[in-house]
Chain A
Amino acid sequence: MSTETTEAPPNRDRPFSWQNLGRTIAGGYIPLLLATLVVFLPLLWMMLSSLKAPGEIVTTNLTLLPKDPNLQNYADAASTVPFARFFLNSVIVTVVGSTIKCILAVFTAYALVFVRFPFKRVIFLLILVALMVPPQVSVLPNYVLIAGMGGLNTYWGIILPGLGTAFGTFLLRQHFLTLPPAIMESAEIDGAGHWRKLWKIVVPVSVPSIATVALVTIVSEWNEYIWPLIVTDHPDMMTLPVGLTQLVNSDGSTQNWGMLMAGAVIVLLPILVIFAALQRYIVSGLTQGSVTG
């Protein structure tokens, strides 16, 4: 009996044994650290390089830290292309585009869940299928349409074709379906119409879901590339990702890396900051499909 109990432990590791500690480090921390560094180091390198003097970049003797950190690369980028204007354009397109998209998504999702209508299933299917239609294949017909309407190099030409939102509608519909019916019934007894039910009940209790949709929309509007690239050719109307393309030498021989890294920081940093602050919402919004199937 006693021999059995003393024999049992060696099968299992004691939690604080050296062996267990070693295994945790080798199997847990090292892969984790490796993955984190693989993501983190290129971004760190970008930041550091953007602060370096040209002589520290165009050299085969790499130094890790800039000797004299300065913003000269940013100034150079801004004097080569209208960088402030690109930034402003990106902000305008992102703010206006995401605001309208979120409002449209809230209205459509509310209608799909709470308003009686005969062909709701068909319409929902229409939206669901639109979710799977890649925006890239519609670029040419939309270009012809928008160009015909005089929308090249205009804000509305950049924003309009992306406004219809299948993703936000789908996500909010799924959330609205989980709201307890008792909330709505009590409002109906009080005689509230759809407008009041939407703004006084549904929207206030759905703030986290709407925030998720808003954040995911902001991120994708900010990063949007192929459409603004096609619809603008005047520097004054370009968004940041499109404007960055202007900085790249098309022959691919000698690039001004300091300037390009400064540009990359400007386009990546705002999203990194938003992501760092609100990553929970963004991750859950972007991986929603995997949970809902």
Chain B
Amino acid sequence: MGRSNTDGASVAASTAPGGMHDRVRTENRDAQSSRVPVDRPPLAGIKRRRWNRRTRKDTWVFVAFAAPNILLILLFTYRPLITNIYYSTLDWTLGSASATAVGIGNYVEFFSSPDASNVLGVTAIFTVTTVGGAMILGLLVALALNQRLKGRTFARAVVFAPYVLSGVGVGLVWLFIFDPTYGVLSWILRGVGQVSPQWVNDPKLALVMVTIVYVWKNLGYCAVVYLAGLQSIPTQLMEAAALDGASNVRRFLSIVVPLLSPTTFFLLITSLLSSLQAFDIIRIMTPSGNGTSTLIFDSYLQAFGSYNRAGYSAAISVVLFVGLLIMTAVQLRFVERKVHYS
């Protein structure tokens, strides 16, 4: 790495005094423009042929360079989307050789069973609370980080750290903390004369538990993105408002919040997408999905849990994907607008 670094420096250094190359380029252009009117037809023909040969060679280079990656993406990212739709029309036990076509039967079953309201409800609660929690706490942490304080770089790194950690490892650490008998939390609750609730066995509390852990893991990401947004707010604006006698709260509501709105929207969409895909923490903390069956987890349990219902699982995946698609479409539209805005 050190060697390639110095190589890079030498290349950059040799090309940095770009005056020579610039001169070459302008001379070329001058020569072309002065010659073009004189003998246009033959030169144009030669140029086109040479250009064609180079283009054809480039085409092969492009294919050789990009094809492996693009084929992998097509095979393992795009193909499954279509295959899933096909699977979702089958009554099919995973691993069995035969399947019967049931049309939209799986969807009818999902939406007419109590499963649907339960799963969709859990998904909605989990998504809204994790997105809201991570964003609000992230903004508060970002505001604290945005002051000129000693150690804020360190604090920024620490707060961000859980975001890069394995959800399985994080889930286990918190499962121990939440343990109703030996966990730290039960010890604290006993200290104030309370009995620890059964976090894992009570479906409602299990959802609260995974929500807390998910927010803990992801709020650092929101904080760092919000911090970048805060630092792009011009300081003169804040100072001018302060001189006009605007209070801290007033400045926050009238300047910071509106100027952060592109950041907020970006975070809202990316957090929604990742919350809807949350798997690791839920799987490790509540393996049976008692009270924590979100769409993604229910889809997993149906196919790879005890039921092996591949077709039904695929139908749930399609429902999830359509939801994600709608949000992605919103994002694309908004990103477009944001680009125009800035």
A residues near B, CB below 8 A?
24, 27-29, 31-32, 35-36, 38-40, 42-43, 45-46, 49, 57-60, 62, 104-105, 107-108, 110-112, 115-118, 120, 123, 126-127, 130, 132-145, 160-166, 169, 180, 182-183, 185-186, 189, 194, 200-201, 203-207, 211, 219, 222-223, 225-226, 229-230, 240-241, 244-245, 248, 250, 252, 255, 257, 260-261, 263-264, 267-268, 271-272, 275-276, 279, 282-283, 286-287, 289-291, 293
Contacts and interface: CB of A to CB of B under 8 A. Distances in A.
B173 A134 contact: no
Contacts of B313: 140
Contact of A260 (B158, B176, B296, B339): B176
A42 B220 CA distance: 15
A137 B70 contact: no
Nearest to B51: A116
Given A115-B65, A207-B1, A182 B22 contact: yes
Contact of B159 (A39, A104, A241, A263): A39
A173 B156 CA distance: 28
B207 interface: no
Contacts of B4: 203-204, 207
A248 B335 contact: no
Interface in B285-342: 287-288, 296, 299-300, 303-304, 310, 313-314, 317-318, 320-321, 324, 328, 331, 335, 338-339
Given A57-B182, A185-B21, A279-B157, A137 B225 contact: no
Nearest to B328: A132
B72 A164 contact: yes
Contacts of B287: 245, 248, 250, 252
A222 B72 contact: no
Given A137-B320, A205-B11, A275-B157, 16 more contacts: A29-B149, A39-B158, A46-B176, A49-B176, A112-B66, A116-B55, A132-B331, A137-B299, A138-B80, A144-B310, A183-B15, A207-B4, A223-B280, A225-B168, A241-B166, A290-B228
A70 B91 CA distance: 54
B324 A241 contact: no
Nearest first, the 4 closest Cβ-Cβ pairs linking A and B are A164-B72, A138-B80, A204-B8, A141-B80
A38 B177 CA distance: 13
A267 B165 CA distance: 9
A117 B303 CA distance: 42
B62 A116 contact: yes
A279 B157 CA distance: 7
Contacts of B22: 182
A201 B74 CA distance: 30
Given A123-B66, A130-B78, A182 B165 contact: no
A222 B166 contact: yes
A229 B177 CA distance: 25
A176 B267 CA distance: 26
A275 B104 CA distance: 47
Contact of A252 (B12, B200, B225): B200
B340 to A, nearest CB: 11
A166 B76 CA distance: 12
Nearest to B276: A134
A120 B223 CA distance: 36
Nearest to B4: A204
A32 B145 contact: yes
A293 B335 contact: yes
Contacts of B155: 32, 35-36
18 contacts: A24-B149, A31-B144, A32-B149, A45-B184, A49-B176, A60-B187, A104-B68, A110-B65, A130-B77, A137-B81, A137-B299, A138-B77, A138-B84, A141-B314, A160-B72, A194-B58, A264-B173, A289-B266
A282 B69 contact: no
Contact of A264 (B70, B157, B163, B169): B169
A98 B88 CA distance: 33
Contact of A205 (B12, B164, B223): B12
Given A264-B173, A293-B335, A204 B296 contact: no
Contacts of A207: 1, 4-5, 8
B76 A225 contact: no
Given A252-B201, A260-B172, A111 B66 contact: yes
B187 A180 contact: no
Contact of A31 (B54, B141, B168, B263): B141
Interface string B79-94: 1110110010000000
B69 A39 contact: no
A110 B87 CA distance: 37
Given A29-B149, A57-B182, A267-B166, A136 B144 contact: no
Contacts of B270: 289
Contacts of B175: 255, 260
Interface string B43-65: 00000000000110011011001
B221 interface: yes
B228 A130 contact: no
Nearest to B188: A62
Contact of B168 (A104, A160, A245, A276): A245
Nearest to B177: A42
